[in-house]
Amino acid sequence: MQILDNQNDLAGFLGQQRDKNITVVSAFAAGTEALVDRLRAQGNRLDIVVGTINSFTSPDFIEHCTSEAGDDLSFAVDFRNQKSIHWKLYLIEPDLVILGSANFTEIGVSLSRDNAVVLQDAVLYAGYQARIAALKASEGVLSSSQSEAFDEALEEYRYSHRRMQAGLARTAQYLDGESWLGEESNQSIPLFTWYSDHSEDSESIAERHLRDSSNGVAWDDVREFFTYECAEGALPYEEGDVVLTARCNGTNIAFYTFDRILYRDGTYYIYSYRKKRYSVPFKLEDAKESLKEAIPRWYEEGRTEINRADILRFMI
């Protein structure tokens, strides 16, 4: 038996493997796309199954593995939500079994706060392979090769993941982006960018729509408002979301709560109210210069959220 730790971590142990069959079954996966690619580049063949409890697994990870699936990468997702797997299991042919608390996430495989042990046991290895085969045959566990059913399940999952992340942005507050990154359940934040400021006419229209909606909020109680043109039902935000907002040139960077959303004649009108205290996932002061450089690119890409990798880049 070998005990792994943050000095001899799981990412490093897996990275030592060459031309092996490696099986990964993990409740959550995020931020380990580069590790997947490195293991494949070293001649390994990967069989990966990830779960969807609490919608923690990153859709970016799922999409990466789906696009790369082939002879050296078999990929499946347990789409059973709260009933999906909670395993943290790694198998390396012919007889290595790695057990512990480490999910297949960037923080998990670093073992900075998780544990893992390596057991050499051919009987245990075979037993787990049999259990994995049974798991993959279960209803709701879909291979990425089942394109139509998998794509439909992924679309539903992507929505639930986004709503979960929006909920975390609304309720969890950190001192800075580095602290936010320290909790691996935080994976994305809604993003809204706009091209130009409102005219007096557009402001009058927004004021009228709010008054006509009869929700008891006066125009003087509005801190800011935004507009978003799209088909009804296509807005990527919901009332209550805390959203990172900015003009497309990287100015006016701030977090706003989208307190009230109205749809009128092809346009969503989004209102943020004045409050004594505003919810923010983390403080932006030290990151605004880096954000100013990134936001024009995100605007051109049509981004409506930023992920952990984005936040890590502007924290450096």
Distance CA 150, CA 257 (A): 34
Residue 33 covered by a domain: yes
Q: What is the pLDDT of residue 183?
A: 87
Do residues 76 and 206 both lie within one domain?
no
| Boundary-marking domain end, from 135, 160, 185 | 160
Q: How far apart are CA 150 and CA 66, in angstroms?
A: 10
Per the CB < 8 A criterion, the answer to whether 248 and 227 are in contact is no
Q: Are residues 126 and 85 in the same domain?
A: yes
**Is 165 inside any structural domain?**
no
Residue 183 sits in the same domain as residue 277: yes
Residue 276 falls inside a structural domain:
yes
How many domains in the chain? 2
What is the predicted pLDDT for the residue at 316? 62
- 148 with 219, same domain: the answer is no
CATH of the domain at 87: 3.30.870.10
Same structural domain, 61 and 197: no
Domain annotation covers residue 145: yes
pLDDT score recorded for residue 91: 98
Domain check: are 34 and 144 in the same one?
A: yes
Residue ending a domain, among 104, 134, 160, is 160
Digitized pLDDT (tens) for each residue of the chain, 316 residues in all: 999 988 899 999 999 999 999 999 999 999 999 999 999 999 999 999 999 999 999 999 999 999 999 999 999 999 999 999 999 999 999 999 999 999 999 999 999 999 999 999 999 999 999 999 999 999 999 999 888 999 999 999 999 999 999 988 888 888 888 888 888 889 999 999 999 888 899 999 999 999 988 777 889 999 999 999 999 999 999 999 999 999 999 999 999 999 999 999 999 999 999 988 888 998 888 788 889 999 999 999 999 999 888 888 887 6
In this structure, are 177 and 123 located in the same domain?
no
Containing structural domain, residue 145: 2-160
Both tokens of 200, joined, read 């007096």
Where does a domain end: 112, 132, 160? 160
